[in-house]
Structure 1
Amino acid sequence: MGDRIVLIGPMGCGKSTIGRLLAARLRCRFLDSDAIIVRQTGVDIPTIFAIEGESGFRAREHKVLVELSQSDERFVLATGGGAVLLPENRPLLRSIGEVIHLDISIDEQLKRIRHDRNRPLLQVDDLPTRLAELAQARAPLYREVAHWRVFSDGLRADQVLNRILRHRRERARSPSGSTPRR
Structure 2
Amino acid sequence: MKRQQRQKLIEAQARAFHTGTVEYMNKQWVFFDEETDEASLLDEYVHQEAEVLRNTFWIKGYLLEDGGFREGASISQLENGETVRIRKQLIYSLEKLVEGLEDEALLYFLNTLNSLHFSIHDSIYCYNHLTFLNPEKEASGVNFLIFDNETQICSVQHHFDYGKKRVDRFEFTLSDGKRTVIEKMLS
- Coarse TM-score class (shorter-chain normalised): under 0.3
Instruction: Name the one with the larger helix percent.
Output: 1
Instruction: Name the one with the larger strand percent.
Output: 2
Q: TM-score normalized by structure 2?
A: 0.23
